[in-house]
Amino acid sequence: MDIECPSCKKRVELDQRYFYHAARSNQGFLYCDRDSTVLVFSTYDPAYVRIVGDVHPWMLDFDQKAEVEEHLIACPCGGSFSFSSPPQCPHCGGSLQPALPSPMHYVIMGRLIDGDREPIWKD
Ligand SMILES: [Zn+2]
Ligand SMILES: [Zn+2]
């Protein structure tokens, strides 16, 4: 599946053939602020729960989001993961968010960092 970038109108091919619905799969996600890497974590992740408690990622307030961001590792590209980073078009860097069905969907265009499989938290 691919989507059209709202900014440059180019087609963006997605690695996966569908959008992930984060709420349905109990996941939180953040994009890198420099490239299209997406980091996902489980809302049951003990490290996450330790930081904010039993709160769904889309219910976090500004301070809680900042707390989570602070504890996350940096992106391999050197960027940082931020709840406010939109999914970036690999062609023009514009936001692909308007092309997604909802803010609770995320797309994998490049690298996926899955907190269930690899360490995502700083010590
Ligand atoms: Zn674009
Ligand atoms: Zn990055």
The Å distance, Cα 39 to ligand 2 centre, comes to 10
Mean pLDDT for all residues in the chain: 89
* Residue ranges of domains in the chain: 2-114
pTM of the model: 0.88
Cα 25 to averaged position of ligand 1 atoms, centre (Å): 28
Ligand approaching nearest to the C-alpha of 91:
1
What is the pLDDT, as a whole number, of residue 68? 97
Q: 42 C-alpha vs ligand 1 centroid, how far in Å?
A: 29
Cα 58 to ligand 2 centre (Å): 22
Residue 33 CA: which ligand is closest? 2
pLDDT digits (tens, 9 = 90+) for 14-70: 765 455 676 677 889 999 999 889 999 999 999 999 999 999 898 999 999 999 999
Q: Please say whether the beta carbons of 100 and 29 come within 8 A.
A: no
Find the helix or strand (DSSP H, E) in which 50 lies: helix 46-52
Which residues neighbour 38 within 8 Å (Cβ) at sequence distance 6 or greater?
29, 30, 31, 32, 87, 106, 107, 108, 109, 110, 111, 112, 113
